[in-house]
């Protein structure tokens, strides 16, 4: 008989006034649940491991509480009785496989106390409720207020059972997809069933390739192609050939229409304009994780912005959290140290009635609160100042917000290498790999509907900023010691995207069993495409690998060799001794059929403007304008972001005598660039200004003029 591993439940309570409880009461009342009169909260921890009750008690006292303001209780889960110390109780934990940074840190700290310990942890929340609550109100509290079913589960009036990850019997096996003989309907059904987001022409191109290879593809190959060809990664709409019929851009809407062939919006209007100018201060553009421009004679600036709208719509905190984390990783991916964050956020009306919220969507107020918390959590914990941004509200952002994240980085001139050689090792550093964000790239490429949160919940990730901070320190030191020949991040598509892009024009051989996992049971395609955050891939000469490994160990960052680059022109993946993917890199990156789109300009219909009354009440009109969420102060949000950390912020987000007025731009003087050794400097140090422009309401009248106005 196999002895069960014990599970312990730890409750951490505030011994002072419970401010969190008041916060949840306010949210409940906003949802119309006014019968909730009192709420007490506790943090829950579950530890599974071969530990005694005394050992868990000692661990809790050392790691989980502030003894001045908190108390705790420990008990084996087997002894928990469903008795209610209040009118009602709701408990919430994360779903299996969702990143749990607090649990990961708990296990890591526990292992420092006892290196021989093997344990798992899960965190959660406990809510004790008082009031005459109906079953319908309890269900609404559990699943709409206290938790998000996309990433969490809840129990009402009974203790929750923690979910620890178990192994999968299919571990290590690659599934063969019978594609070569499939008809059109079968191809489309396969794309839909696997969340590939590929159209019929793309599925037929894949089918034709494997017919030439004289074999059916594996699930690893199909998933890798879908990720590489996704709208999110491949920008198919921007690259499509467009037949346009209408007035030329910049002319009046009633100008004579003309037919125009546009060979890619990106190539025609963005790349060409930049390349025609090609100013001398442009260091790198369109070829890497972020653009790089000159700062002064010794330093360069890297900048990257990216939207994270779909993930933020279904899980606001995680979507914004990993949106910031993603652009920070992109800055690290060009060997720069992050020095500032920016965020432009657009939501639906905060006072929207619950009945007007689209089915399957979160209330704009819930989305806004989660997004702001996600931005705050990542930037503050990494020590990156959030110095610039915007917050706007408009009805068209109700179901799908705009979460536009940006990061500014600083790097020494000519310090970012990109010269992979055959025989270079493929080194993976950072956090473990789990089922986080699977199909995130294809999910972000699909149209959202009311079922999105149910069918694409696995695409949501939760960030771990402390891990990324440690990775940052490794990269900056490895850069200065020139230990790697190329670097990129594991963003959308995970290792598939990172190694796939790095090996382009070269080739690579990867051993998936070498990838560190958060928990057992992942199949090869899941390991390859997981979007688990805080991971970077480096190309490292075998001679430099021991030194890099030592640096990683000093920062407590896991680092492993998962393969090597080779001059084969193919990407070959193995799990143990089994080849689970073998695909031409030319087809992977250039085999996608080019889309042909038709576009017609339809001038927007101007909204009717109501006449002013003969004697308008200007006082009430002024007060109404000042109370509008797009005009009223955003200080409550701005103050949650640390804009002083790193000591380089000269012009702050709020300025004026009492620091109440929004600044036109933030100005920074990076501390790394100031010092007695910089003898080339004149009287004043060099600074960088960071600003943003946005006017979505203008789009209803003229999108072209709106873009001009935003830039101006």
pLDDT tens sequence across 660-688: 889 999 999 998 887 655 444 456 789 99
Task: Please give the residue range of the domain that contains residue 691.
Answer: 635-711
464 is catalytic: no
Q: How many helices (H) and strands (E) does the chain have?
A: 24, 27
Please give the C-alpha separations between residue 693 and each of 324, 340, 664, 665, 712, in angstroms, as whole numbers.
19, 17, 10, 10, 8
Q: Kindly state the helix (H) or strand (E) to which residue 392 belongs, with its residue range.
A: strand 386-393
Angle formed by the axes of helices 465-480 and 545-554, nearest 10°: 140
Please give the C-alpha separations between residue 631 and each of 393, 623, 625, 696, in angstroms, as whole numbers.
10, 11, 7, 14
On whether residue 682 sits in a domain, the answer given is yes
On whether residue 652 sits in a domain, the answer given is yes
Output the average pLDDT for the chain. 89
pLDDT tens digits for range 538-576: 999 999 999 999 999 999 999 999 999 999 999 999 999
Q: What's the CA gap between 64 and 121, in Å, rounded?
A: 13
The lowest-confidence range among 140-149, 242-251, 619-628, 679-688 is: 679-688
Confidence label for 463 from pLDDT (cuts 50, 70 and 90): confident
Three-state DSSP class for 371?
helix
Give the pLDDT score at 671.
84
Q: What's the CA gap between 521 and 669, in Å, rounded?
A: 48
On whether residue 109 sits in a domain, the answer given is yes
Q: Are 402 and 453 in contact (CB under 8 A)?
A: no
Give the pLDDT score at 460.
62
On whether residue 85 sits in a domain, the answer given is yes
Give me the half-sphere count of Cα atoms (radius 13 Å) on the Cβ side of residue 396.
6
Q: What's the CA gap between 461 and 427, in Å, rounded?
A: 23
Give the pLDDT score at 169.
47
Q: What's the CA gap between 196 and 189, in Å, rounded?
A: 10
State which of 156, 187, 205 marks the end of a domain.
156
* Mean pLDDT score, 155-168: 82
Q: Does the pLDDT value for residue 402 go beyond 50?
A: yes
Give the pLDDT score at 448.
46
High-pLDDT (> 90) share of the chain, %: 67
Q: What angle do CA 526, 527, 529 make, to 5 degrees?
A: 65
Beta strands in 420-479, from DSSP E residues, in sequence order: 425-430
Give the pLDDT score at 477.
97
On whether residue 149 sits in a domain, the answer given is yes
Q: Are 442 and 197 in contact (CB under 8 A)?
A: yes
Three-state DSSP class for 338?
strand
On whether residue 68 sits in a domain, the answer given is yes
Q: Are 495 and 515 in contact (CB under 8 A)?
A: yes
Q: Highest mean pLDDT range out of 5-19, 85-99, 134-148, 252-266? A: 134-148
Q: Are 359 and 451 in contact (CB under 8 A)?
A: no
Give me the half-sphere count of Cα atoms (radius 13 Å) on the Cβ side of residue 499.
32
Q: Kindly state the helix (H) or strand (E) to which residue 453 belongs, with its residue range.
A: helix 452-455
pTM, full prediction: 0.89
On whether residue 91 sits in a domain, the answer given is yes
On whether residue 176 sits in a domain, the answer given is no
The pair of three-digit structure tokens given for residue 182, joined into one six-digit string: 């499939």
Three-state DSSP class for 397?
helix
Give the pLDDT score at 660.
86
**Eight-class DSSP state of 266:** I
> Number of folded domains in the chain?
2
31, 57, 143, 232: the catalytic one is 232
Sole residue written with tokens 């909260």: 41
pLDDT tens digits for range 505-521: 999 999 999 999 887 88
Burial class (CB in 10 A: 0-12, 13-18, 19+), 161: middle
Beta strands in 132-193, from DSSP E residues, in sequence order: 152-156
Number of neighbours of residue 694 by Cβ within 10 angstroms: 17
The pair of three-digit structure tokens given for residue 508, joined into one six-digit string: 């690579």
Give the pLDDT score at 680.
47
511 is catalytic: no
Q: Does the pLDDT value for residue 88 go beyond 80?
A: yes
State which of 116, 134, 156 marks the end of a domain.
156
Confidence label for 5 from pLDDT (cuts 50, 70 and 90): confident
Q: Does the pLDDT value for residue 164 go beyond 90?
A: no
Residues in the chain: 712
Give the pLDDT score at 56.
93
Confidence label for 170 from pLDDT (cuts 50, 70 and 90): very low
Give the pLDDT score at 167.
54
Q: What's the CA gap between 273 and 285, in Å, rounded?
A: 12
State which of 156, 189, 215 marks the end of a domain.
156
The pair of three-digit structure tokens given for residue 257, joined into one six-digit string: 């229409």
88, 308, 464, 544: the catalytic one is 308
String of DSSP letters for 306-347: EE-HHHHHHSHHHHHHHHHHHHHHHHHTTT-EEEEEEEEEEE
């Amino acid at each position: 008989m196999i002895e069960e591993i014990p599970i312990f439940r730890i409750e951490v309570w505030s011994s002072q006034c419970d401010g969190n409880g008041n916060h949840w009461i306010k949210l409940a009342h906003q949802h119309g649940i006014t019968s909730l009169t009192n709420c007490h909260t506790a943090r829950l921890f579950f530890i599974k491991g071969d530990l005694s009750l005394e050992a868990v008690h000692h661990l809790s006292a050392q790691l989980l509480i502030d003894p001045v303001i908190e108390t705790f209780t420990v008990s084996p889960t087997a002894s928990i009785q469903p008795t209610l110390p209040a009118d009602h109780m709701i408990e919430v934990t994360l779903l299996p496989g969702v990143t749990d940074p607090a649990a990961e840190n708990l296990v890591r700290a526990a292992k420092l106390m006892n290196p021989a310990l093997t344990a798992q942890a899960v965190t959660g929340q406990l809510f004790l409720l008082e009031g005459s609550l109906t079953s319908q109100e309890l269900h609404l509290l559990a699943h709409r207020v206290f938790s998000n079913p996309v990433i969490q589960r809840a129990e009402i009036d009974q203790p929750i059972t923690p979910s620890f990850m178990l192994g999968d019997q299919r571990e290590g096996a690659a599934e063969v997809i019978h594609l070569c003989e499939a008809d059109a309907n079968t191809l489309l059904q396969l794309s839909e069933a696997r969340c590939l987001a590929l159209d019929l022409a793309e599925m037929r191109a894949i089918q034709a390739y494997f017919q030439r290879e004289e074999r059916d593809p594996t699930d690893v190959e199909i998933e890798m192609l879908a990720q590489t060809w996704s709208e999110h990664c491949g920008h198919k709409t921007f690259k499509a050939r467009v037949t346009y019929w209408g007035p030329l851009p910049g002319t009046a809407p009633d100008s004579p229409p003309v037919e125009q062939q546009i060979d890619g919006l990106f190539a025609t209007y963005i790349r060409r304009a930049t390349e025609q100018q090609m100013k001398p201060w442009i260091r790198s553009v369109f070829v890497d994780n972020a653009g790089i421009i000159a700062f002064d004679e010794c330093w360069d600036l890297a900048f990257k912005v990216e939207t994270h709208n779909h993930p933020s719509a279904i899980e606001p905190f995680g979507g914004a959290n990993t949106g910031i984390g993603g652009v920070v990783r992109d800055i690290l991916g060009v060997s720069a140290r992050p020095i500032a964050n920016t965020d432009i956020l657009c939501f639906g009306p905060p006072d929207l009635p619950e009945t007007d919220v689209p089915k399957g969507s979160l209330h704009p107020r819930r989305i806004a609160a989660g997004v702001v918390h996600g931005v705050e959590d990542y930037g503050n914990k990494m020590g990156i100042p959030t110095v610039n941004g915007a917050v706007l509200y408009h009805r068209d952002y109700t179901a799908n917000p705009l979460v536009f994240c940006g990061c500014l980085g600083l790097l020494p001139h000519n310090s970012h290498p990109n010269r992979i050689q055959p025989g270079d090792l493929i080194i993976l550093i950072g956090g473990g790999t789990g089922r986080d964000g699977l199909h995130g790239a294809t999910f972000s490429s699909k149209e959202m509907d009311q079922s999105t949160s149910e069918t694409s919940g696995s695409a949501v990730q939760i960030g771990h900023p402390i891990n990324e901070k440690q990775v940052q320190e490794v990269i900056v030191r490895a850069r200065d010691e020139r230990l790697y020949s190329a670097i990129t991040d594991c963003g959308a598509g995970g290792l598939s995207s990172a190694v796939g892009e790095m090996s382009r024009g070269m080739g690579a051989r990867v051993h998936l069993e070498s990838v560190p996992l958060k928990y057992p049971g992942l199949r090869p395609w899941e390991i390859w495409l997981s979007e688990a955050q805080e991971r970077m891939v480096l190309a490292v000469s075998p001679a430099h690998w021991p030194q890099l490994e030592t640096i990683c160990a000093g920062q407590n960052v896991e680092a492993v060799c998962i393969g090597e680059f080779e001059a084969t022109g193919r990407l070959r993946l193995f799990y143990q001794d089994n080849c689970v993917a073998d695909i031409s890199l030319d087809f992977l990156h250039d085999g996608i059929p080019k889309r042909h789109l038709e576009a017609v300009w339809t001038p927007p219909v101007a909204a009717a403007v109501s006449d002013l009354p003969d004697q308008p009440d200007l006082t009430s009109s002024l007060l109404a304008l000042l109370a509008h969420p797009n005009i009223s102060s955003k200080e409550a949000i701005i103050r949650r972001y640390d804009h002083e950390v790193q000591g380089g912020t000269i012009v702050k987000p709020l300025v004026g005598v009492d620091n109440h007025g929004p600044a036109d731009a933030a100005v920074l003087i990076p501390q790394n660039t100031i010092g007695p050794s910089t003898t080339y400097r004149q009287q004043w140090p060099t600074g960088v200004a960071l600003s943003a422009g946005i006017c979505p309401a203008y789009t209803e009248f003229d999108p072209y003029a709106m873009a001009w106005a935003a830039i101006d």
